[in-house]
Amino acid sequence: MSDRLTCHYGVIGALRVLIVMFAVCCLGLQVGLFVVADDVATAYPHADASHWIYVIGGVLMVACFEIALIPLWRLLTLARRRDVFSGEAVRWTNGILACAGAEAVLVILLMLAQIWMSPSMLVVEALGVERDSVRFVILGACLVALLLIAAFELLMLVMRSLLMQAIEQRDELAAVI
């Protein structure tokens, strides 16, 4: 039994280290988006400023992921305390689902912006491609992102359902004992 506890605590510790690493990388990515966008805008001063929509959208999307790390950390804390089968775990799982839902909304807004706006001249000039090619790539990437988010949301809904069933069974068992 103690080997299982040691492994359990080791896995939770490793996951926490990964969460911190993800958070640091996300912060670096967010700062990097602004730095690169500023550098590109300086290199192409005559280009339009619509690229900032993509930068802000990217920063907000990364922020959704960062915010989802908080409920994940709390779930790991519950697992470490061996208190996963509580209403608190369901609440933190709902938080992760909310973050993924917000991410999907941001992707949809980015897609709508891409449909209504012409692709940024900055992107077109920087890549040396046609506007339609840029629009196709951005919309394709957004569709792939939406599919991944939908798959993640469905997986999390299944996991939350399993968690709720386990809580109900634990409560029934506690009532019998």
Tens of pLDDT along 29-49?
999 999 988 887 787 776 666
What is the extent of the structural domain holding 96?
Answer: 2-176
Total structural domains within the chain: 1
Give the per-residue pLDDT at 47.
Answer: 63
Mean pLDDT of the chain: 85
* 170 vs 116: CA distance, rounded Å: 52
- Reply yes or no on whether the pLDDT at 124 is more than 60: no
Contacts of residue 12, defined as CB under 8 A and 6 or more positions apart, other chains included, come to 76, 79, 80
Burial, 23: exposed, middle or buried (Cβ in 10 Å; 0-12, 13-18, 19+)?
middle
Write the pLDDT tens digit of every residue in 91-102: 999 999 999 999
- Output the pTM of the full model: 0.80
Give the per-residue pLDDT at 147.
Answer: 96
* 151 vs 156: CA distance, rounded Å: 9
Give the per-residue pLDDT at 118.
Answer: 61
Copy the structure tokens of residue 34. Answer: 């602004």
Cβ neighbours around 157 below 10 Å, total: 12
Copy the structure tokens of residue 144. Answer: 């792939």
* 127 vs 40: CA distance, rounded Å: 12
